[in-house]
Each structure stands twice: as structure tokens, then as C-alpha cells.
Amino acid sequence: MKLLLLEGKIRMNDDFQKLLDNSNEIYGVSENEKISIITHDKVLFQEVNYNEKKDEYSIDYHYYVFFDVKKSIYRDLKNLNKSYFELSQHQNAYRSWSTSFPFLNNLRTDHDKCDNLSLVFLSFSYSKVFSQYDFTKNECDIYFDMESKLMSYAKSVVFEFNIILNEKTFN
């Protein structure tokens, strides 16, 4: 999967693209996954799969929120990890995919060739299953509801993460 420039204004981090490329090499490319929203600091992927045996649709969202590593607060790996650990104690981190609520997956970092921190992001997921009837009848509403809930949840978690990180950095 390649991230494309939208109207020539959005440029996704090259290191994130490398992570996606590596993932595609390991797991293969999903034909059912598409980018739902992309900005300079967020990417929302949507995957919709139909299970013929159960006559149902599963919808999975993966949401990535990137932090500006040019800012010194996001370059201190020790404080990032401490802040994430504290955050994960308050949030529903590593929740089971079987629950139908958005959840925090993890904090990811990556380094460039010179071992400088080049990528910091939080990842979130949300998955639900719908009968074919419900899905067909309410498809647009389902997408809107799931995307809204996931992005609202992520916004509150990112806000909390930044509060914790600021406390660890400046105290």
C-alpha cells in the first residue's frame, strides 16, 4: 500500500511509509483496506470484510497519530516511554479485539540511519461486526459512527498523553 499525496499538500513521513512497506512484505497487502482520512499528522485506515459463512461484515479501523519529532518534548525517548506506561495504566490499552470499543494499541518509535528519533506515533484500533442486513441498511451511518468514536477517543488519549509527557518533561 502506498500513501499518496492528496492534492499535493499532504506529505506523509517516509519512515511510516517504510513501516507500511515492511508490514506489506511480511503480512501481504489487504485488498479490503483503504485510507479513510489522511492529514500531515494522522492516518485512518478502514478495512471491511464479508464473512459468507456467518453472513456478516467486520469493520476494522486503524488510526495513527504522529507527533512532531522536531519538538524537543517528543525527542526524549525515556520520557516518552514513561509517559506511555503511565497512560496505558489509565486507558484500555491492549484491549481484546473482541470488544466493540476503540482502544489504544501502542506507542511506536523509529530511528533514522544516524540513530536519531525520526518517528513517534500512537496507534489505535476499533473493530465491530454487523449482520449483512444491518450493514447494508446503515453502511454510511456505521462508518460515520465508528470513525467519530475512534477519533474522539484518540483525541482524548492524545490530550492525556501530552499532559503526562509535559509533567514528566518539565517537573
**How far is C-alpha 23 from the geometric centre of its chain's CA atoms?**
14
> What pLDDT score does 171 carry?
78
- Please tell me the distance from the alpha carbon of residue 145 to that of residue 132, in angstroms, as a whole number: 17
Q: What is the mean pLDDT of residues 2-27?
A: 55
> How distant, in Å, are the alpha carbons of 11, 67, 107 from that of 15?
12, 13, 15
Q: Predicted confidence band at 14 (pLDDT cuts at 50, 70, 90)?
A: low
- Please tell me the distance from the alpha carbon of residue 36 to that of residue 44, in angstroms, as a whole number: 5
Spell out the domain ranges in the chain.
14-170
Q: pTM for the complete prediction?
A: 0.83
20-71 tens-digit pLDDT: 666 566 556 667 778 888 888 888 999 999 999 999 999 999 999 999 999 9
From 85, 61, 79, 78, select the one nearest 142 (Cα to Cα): 61
60-108 tens-digit pLDDT: 999 999 999 999 999 999 999 999 999 988 776 555 556 678 999 899 9
From 96, 93, 87, 100, select the one nearest 126 (Cα to Cα): 100
> What pLDDT score does 115 carry?
81
> What pLDDT score does 100 carry?
76
Q: Which residues pair with 63 in a beta bridge?
A: 44, 124
Packing angle, helices 77-90 and 132-170, rounded to 10:
130
Q: Predicted confidence band at 13 (pLDDT cuts at 50, 70, 90)?
A: low
> What pLDDT score does 88 carry?
87
- Please tell me the distance from the alpha carbon of residue 130 to that of residue 114, in angstroms, as a whole number: 47
- Please tell me the distance from the alpha carbon of residue 88 to that of residue 83, in angstroms, as a whole number: 9
- Please tell me the distance from the alpha carbon of residue 159 to that of residue 34, in angstroms, as a whole number: 27
From 13, 140, 30, 114, select the one nearest 65 (Cα to Cα): 13
DSSP state for residue 13 in the 8-state scheme: -
